[in-house]
Amino acid sequence: MNIKPIHDKVVLKPVVADEVTKSGIVLPDTIDKERPEKGEVVAVGEGKILENGQRAPMGVKVGDIVMFKKYSPDEIKVDDVEYLVISESDIMAIIN
């Protein structure tokens, strides 16, 4: 991947889990496809520029799995791979 986000932007690879019914039937992600709400961080910007000219440090790093608001990210495609671009402020949590 050859993407370098700027400022407080974060590039994510969507994490989509197969859904399992109570009876154990696995429903693939192609059924009733919803937008993902989790993603793996693959690139981060340098941080937001504050009013005093300093950069705020980023709270996420490459490799983190994060939760975000469903309709916050923008979808992009690079080399036939789908990625999501989101502002750091729209990330709600890091999943350990």
Is domain 9-95 annotated with CATH 2.30.33.40? yes
> Are the C-beta atoms of 5 and 76 separated by less than 8 Å?
no
Per-residue pLDDT of the chain (96 residues; tens, 9 = 90+): 688 999 999 999 998 766 666 777 766 655 455 666 899 999 999 999 999 999 999 999 999 999 998 888 999 998 889 999 999 999 999 998
| Domain edges within the chain | 9-95
What is the DSSP track for the chain? ------TTEEEEEE--PPEE-TTS-EE-TTTTPPPPSEEEEEEE-S-PBPTTSPBPPPS--TT-EEEE-TT-SEEEEETTEEEEEEEGGGEEEEE-
Structure tokens of 54?
Answer: 């300093």
Q: Judge whether 41 and 62 are in contact, CB under 8 Å.
A: yes
